[in-house]
Structure 1
């Protein structure tokens, strides 16, 4: 975008942040006409104070608006920055497997090293350390692609399996951080690689990543249909076994289908799918982490609450938390799952007008996994709502968290 006028760059990043001209103007304290003139180049942006304010609202480095290489932020401990985005995009745009078709890589990374790196990346994600993960992703993607391209024979399936997992990790964290286009690209790649790995369960999990990205991009209906199609293929019973891995993948497909149905406002389908997942969880017996799904009875209830929030029924979400989720079982879940649920609860409390408890859930989530609260766009929306609806000055801990999140008090 270096050759674009500055107004076009502002329009581009405003679009990426999904802000209308009116909302953007309101946050700037300007008129919609002023924003329109800036973006069309009719009005010049010649005050650095205004430029920095625009960069702050759009959550980008001011150097990007000036058409220069961004400087790495000193405070980028938990969140992704544009350097990471650009490096991950470049890694996803590599086609090592095609190059290897003509000229195989002579020294692919050892698979034993790749297994360790992939396991570490999964744990980094499930502990909610998104900044650490996004900084490691470009190299991990390149290494996994090189391993997939360079290994053949008996090792080719394992190399493809590891690459498929890396694509899924990338898709999951990118979706959380609002980079939905890249999340979809990584998820789509994971589905293709899963077929080469010849692992139907890996393909099933890849399906959930694709569908999550589709929902985030405003495409819940095809996401629902795809989740159900693959869930039916993998359903236990008949010619399929009922081992823990299959139960976990099948159950997660149903849960993600329920979330897509909730986005559509289809409460009957939500109930059917969550009840089906509950049956699979009962067969599994306890919360486990096969195929990195964190699937089990407690996670089913977390999704029941999350779906209620998506349906706009915050009271139901709070009720599920209070009556159906046992605290000991909840506390055994990994930090990402727990913090994600607390963010859903914050949304639920906000829906019923209880901004004090909404803020408390944000604080609890931040103590568990700061990145889940400080880096996710949906958390910023909840915090903005809490601040706007709090009478008088917000509590000091809320004000401090809002400052860390970059949400104006």
Structure 2
């Protein structure tokens, strides 16, 4: 199916393929036939992942099948003509998972400082929402880091393992962003292996957060909540006198878990995780970006808005969202928050403000808006719901996001 179908239209398509009536599917998800009819006819915004996941489960399809992920990554001057397939090839290179791989590797490893510079450059680009640039260059970084791990010894080996773990984490978060959930899982798993080999508990903690995101990308929200608890227990013995990096990793772990809990419709655990993150942010004392976590009080506030939206507390999201000052945050965080504010405005029938917010987000980070399922589905739903001819601004945005012919 193309990107020009709303989630509701996809539900209808799969329901018919399964030979199910609206009465049957509505009953299986505990809703009325009237509700399902409105969903399939775009009269109700279907933007809560917990609800979408329940429909996907009853239709026996993947969550990604309903939300139209992944989305094709366009060729740009940043990405070149090698995007996700090249990254897939790097992640699935048999030489990285076989005992004789190092002996046949054709890549000459650079020095540790060069590796660290490559890593920092790509993480900074990710936080600037340059997704094509990151995707196009990650295969080279992974190949260089793998070669270094196979070649170096002593302190250089430990440093190379750290670079490799963080390179795989970057691959996991980037792939999650563009809807490649299965590849994100592979990347997170590889990163954890590198972190464990390095004996680095902070690095292991940040990779566990990536596994949490990978679980969420496939709709496994309760497993992500359980992993958050398990990972927190693993890190807690190191919190009596933690480094800023440890506090940041610990806090962002709970932020990821709070989203998972909200998507699992578990409001109590959501509040518990947000409180734990808030306490870590208070101990840290200010917004920071240790290990590219962008962790601090502002990121906690961003997640309060996002979890409110996931739980259906639209008024909380509308009231709190516009008040959060994200100007000091990395661009990726700023735009992700803007998408949540646009979603809240849309659910509150403040369509003009929703569109203005999304257009401003696109101005700041066009790639992020283009590839995020929330922005694409918001725009497509707005187009479908128009009773008169859509505005020029909306039509042009829909075409830029490739959700309208």
Deviation at 1:21, TM superposition (A): 12
RCO higher in structure (CA 8 A, sep ≥6): 2
Deviation at 1:81, TM superposition (A): 10
**Structure 1 pair 22/379, CA: closer, same or farther in 2 (3 Å)?**
closer
Q: Aligned residue for 2:90?
A: 91
Unaligned runs of 5+ in 1: 1-13, 34-56, 62-72
Q: Aligned residue for 2:76?
A: 77
- Tell me, yes or no, if the aligned pair for 1:358 and 1:386 is still in contact at 8 Å: no
User: Does residue 373 in structure 1 map to residue 369 in structure 2?
Assistant: yes
For the residues of structure 2 that align with 1:119 and 1:219, how far apart are their CA atoms?
31
Q: Aligned residue for 1:67?
A: none
- Tell me, yes or no, if the aligned pair for 2:70 and 2:178 is still in contact at 8 Å: no
Q: Aligned residue for 2:49?
A: none
Deviation at 1:16, TM superposition (A): 12
Deviation at 1:92, TM superposition (A): 0.4
Unaligned runs of 5+ in 2: 19-67
Where do residues 227-266 of structure 1 align in structure 2 (5 Å cutoff)?
227-235=228-236, 240-266=240-266
- Tell me, yes or no, if the aligned pair for 1:87 and 1:138 is still in contact at 8 Å: yes
- Using the size of structure 2 for normalisation, the TM-score is 0.79
Q: Aligned residue for 1:340?
A: 336
Structure 1, residues 351-377: CA drift from partner, whole Å, max 9, x if none?
Answer: 222222221221111111111111122
**Structure 1 pair 399/120, CA: closer, same or farther in 2 (3 Å)?**
same
- Tell me, yes or no, if the aligned pair for 1:373 and 1:379 is still in contact at 8 Å: yes
Q: Aligned residue for 1:147?
A: 148
Where do residues 30-49 of structure 1 align in structure 2 (5 Å cutoff)?
none
Q: Aligned residue for 1:177?
A: 178
SS in 2 for 1:331: coil
Q: Aligned residue for 1:269?
A: 269
For the residues of structure 2 that align with 1:209 and 1:183, how far apart are their CA atoms?
8
- Tell me, yes or no, if the aligned pair for 2:70 and 2:179 is still in contact at 8 Å: no
For the residues of structure 1 that align with 2:110 and 2:76, how far apart are their CA atoms?
28
- Tell me, yes or no, if the aligned pair for 1:363 and 1:398 is still in contact at 8 Å: no
Structure 1, residues 273-329: CA drift from partner, whole Å, max 9, x if none?
Answer: 101111111111111001110000000000111111111222211222244x2x3xx
User: Does residue 108 in structure 1 map to residue 83 in structure 2?
Assistant: no
Match of 1:356 among 352, 355, 361: 352
- Using the size of structure 1 for normalisation, the TM-score is 0.78
Q: Aligned residue for 2:160?
A: 159
**Structure 1 pair 313/77, CA: closer, same or farther in 2 (3 Å)?**
farther
Q: How many residues align?
A: 353
**Structure 1 pair 82/384, CA: closer, same or farther in 2 (3 Å)?**
farther
- Tell me, yes or no, if the aligned pair for 2:4 and 2:404 is still in contact at 8 Å: no
**Structure 1 pair 108/97, CA: closer, same or farther in 2 (3 Å)?**
farther
For the residues of structure 2 that align with 1:370 and 1:258, how far apart are their CA atoms?
27
- Tell me, yes or no, if the aligned pair for 1:91 and 1:138 is still in contact at 8 Å: yes
